[in-house]
Chains A and B, each alone.
Chain A
């Protein structure tokens, strides 16, 4: 493996901008790495070799002309979740219904990456239409966790997280509707950030649940995530829900945090996010993370968010309701798959046959659940009550942020489970999102940072840090301080301890 693939995005950018390494060399090193390990990992659904090398060559040419780098990440390769529209690559959302579809336009996130000179290596695997916690619901086969390839990499953004952990890319983009950035980050020992709702444009992001979906940065370090956050964040007139305020100064916050001083900060430990259903080693790792935060000068307080206990139930009513509406667009008329049972089939028969053939089980379940929850006679009992619970969760957050600057919890209740273990039990699968869902319901930012390894299985555990709306700066500061302290005490980044689980040198 080339040493270039082991560097952080910040280190790689510095070498490219000082012209010690070319962007083409950096891109080629990552493409070679993908060729080497992706047959085992399966993080990518599409590798864009030629467009990536061409984009890298453009960065090199601009630097050779004496131009300033287009951004602090110009020339650095990135893996893009296959839920974001790209005009020069297929966009499938992990679904057969969009197999081979090439969008006629770029998502705003993709356009901003290109403008910043970030090199898009390809599109990453995901649970179909971002519905799942394991990437097993991809129509193109599961992604394997680089820490142990018999285990899941989390989901829905398992491809993006696994690409980072397998050193196939130093940066990735994920989307987080109920934890799809943070839970994969936790189980792969990487960093994943869900920004404040509206902080990153949803234009060109194929919708799962519009009131919850949020794209965000994934990386191996907190600083790299912050650098990527500033590239993709900010107001976009093409997304009416985009927030029209400056992007929080997360890079400065990450640098300040790395100095390791958290004195004066109050960190709230959410009482409800622990106990029954949590793997004891996850809780042990979380407790040691709390001690570390305390040793950095933070004051720990216990906070109670009683309605978080109902977040999962409310989420699995609100999400399917929005899904049942959003996925109605896959009607076999304008794009995507069309299955025609017979030559004289009606439009309705074609729609039903196409959706039956093109959607997987989890998508069908959620469409039917949402159809039920929105039905006349059931609406008030299900969807209406779920919306009230959403209000209660938001109030819990408001009260907790009155007592603490940030809140913390484990990111996921368990370490990575085995592929196949929960795929036939939807409710067991849903429980993986227990800790991550509240932030989506309230629209507040949250992130996962590697906390340590569970003793028995040697698998990563994530620390979740949650902040008030637009409070990303303090969140990154805490994350960077924790990361620096953990690295110093444990002899380096967690990810560098990734043992040879891929059958090739790591």
Chain B
């Protein structure tokens, strides 16, 4: 993330930070989109930073409305998708497998 110290209270997010977020999220956003999103995200982040006003340290966080423990099922074999079904929506397939673009030679 940014080189500067995080200061959520200011609520500000720069155009460069939005560009970085877009890269992290694998969104090839355009320059006009960056201009627009930077302003909008700034407004939204400033508004949602209000959570800091009441979220005191001693309050336990809630991740889920219904407290959950591990849910088990019997370890029994049951039918899954066939190979044909699994590939039915694939953008490209070959020899019964998903065909994907090259993964070597990435920058990141």
User: Which A residues have a C-beta under 8 Å from some C-beta of B?
Assistant: 101-105, 197-198, 211-212, 237, 240-241, 243, 307, 310, 313-314, 316-317, 324, 331-338, 340, 344-353, 355-356, 359, 361, 364-365, 367-369, 371-372, 375-378, 381-382, 384-392, 394, 426-427, 430, 440-444, 469
Contacts and interface: CB of A to CB of B under 8 A. Distances in A.
A344 B102 contact: yes
Contact of B101 (A334, A346, A389, A442): A346
Given A240-B71, A345-B101, A368-B21, A310 B61 contact: no
Nearest to A377: B6
Contact of B62 (A337, A371, A381, A391): A391
A224 B10 CA distance: 49
A14 B41 CA distance: 52
B91 A337 contact: yes
Interface string B41-78: 10111011111111110011111111010010100000
A352 B27 contact: yes
A372 B13 contact: yes
27 contacts: A211-B64, A237-B73, A241-B66, A307-B54, A335-B90, A336-B89, A347-B103, A348-B106, A348-B108, A356-B27, A364-B27, A364-B29, A367-B27, A368-B21, A368-B25, A372-B13, A375-B1, A382-B48, A387-B61, A387-B63, A388-B51, A388-B56, A388-B60, A394-B62, A426-B40, A426-B44, A443-B65
A492 to B, nearest CB: 38
Interface string B25-45: 111111001001100110111
Nearest to B64: A211
Majority DSSP secondary structure for residues of B touching A = loop
B98 A333 contact: yes
A356 B91 contact: no
Contacts of B24: 371
Contacts of B100: 333, 347
Interface of B: 1, 6, 8, 13, 17-18, 21-30, 33, 36-37, 40-41, 43-45, 47-56, 59-66, 68, 71, 73, 81, 85-86, 88-92, 98, 100-103, 105-108
Given A310-B50, A371-B24, A104 B88 contact: yes
Contacts of A348: 26, 106-108
Given A364-B29, A387-B61, A340 B101 contact: yes
Contacts, number: 193
Given A348-B107, A368-B22, 20 more contacts: A211-B65, A313-B48, A316-B48, A333-B91, A336-B89, A349-B101, A351-B26, A352-B23, A352-B28, A353-B28, A364-B29, A367-B25, A368-B18, A368-B25, A368-B27, A371-B24, A386-B48, A388-B59, A391-B62, A444-B65
Contacts of A375: 1
A313 B45 CA distance: 9
Contacts of A345: 101
Contacts of B90: 333-335
A432 to B, nearest CB: 14
